[in-house]
Amino acid sequence: MAPAPTDSTTLSRTAEILQKVHQQLASRRPGDAVPAGLIAHRLRISHTAVLEALAELADRNVVEHLPKGPHGPAYYMPRTAIAPARHRAEHGRSTHVR
């Protein structure tokens, strides 16, 4: 019997899924609905795992969740970019890359 995954293994897998879901958004345009089911199918992971990654990406302002979006409740690509100063104010960290 295989040993149970450790917390670091779980965190590593979560980070991997987050990165892969984020990569799937590269071809999306502002205002596009994010096809969570299609992403799950392409990555061969559960729909729940994709939704969890999208929730994290929404917290990071990469996508936004619209309960009454144009195609129904879903995650969408933001129509406008979040200004760096606003992002810093909301999240308390610098957006400057060194």
With vertex at residue 33, the alpha carbon angle to CA 12 and CA 51, rounded to the nearest 5 degrees, is: 30
Nearest CA to 52 out of 71, 69, 30, 75 is that of: 75
10 and 18 Cβ atoms separated by less than 8 Å: no
Strand ranges, E, within the chain = 64-66, 74-76
| pLDDT value of position 80 | 81
User: For 90, left (φ over 0), alpha (ψ -120 to 50), or beta?
Assistant: alpha
Name the pTM for this structure: 0.73
pLDDT means over runs of 10, the chain (98 residues) = 65 92 96 97 97 97 95 94 47 42
Instruction: Choose which CATH entry (1.10.10.10, 3.40.50.150, 3.40.190.10, 3.30.300.30) describes domain 9-91.
Output: 1.10.10.10
Nearest CA to 54 out of 71, 74, 70 is that of: 74
Residues facing residue 74 across a β-bridge: 66
Q: For residues 40 and 7, what is the distance between their CA atoms, to the nearest angstrom?
A: 23
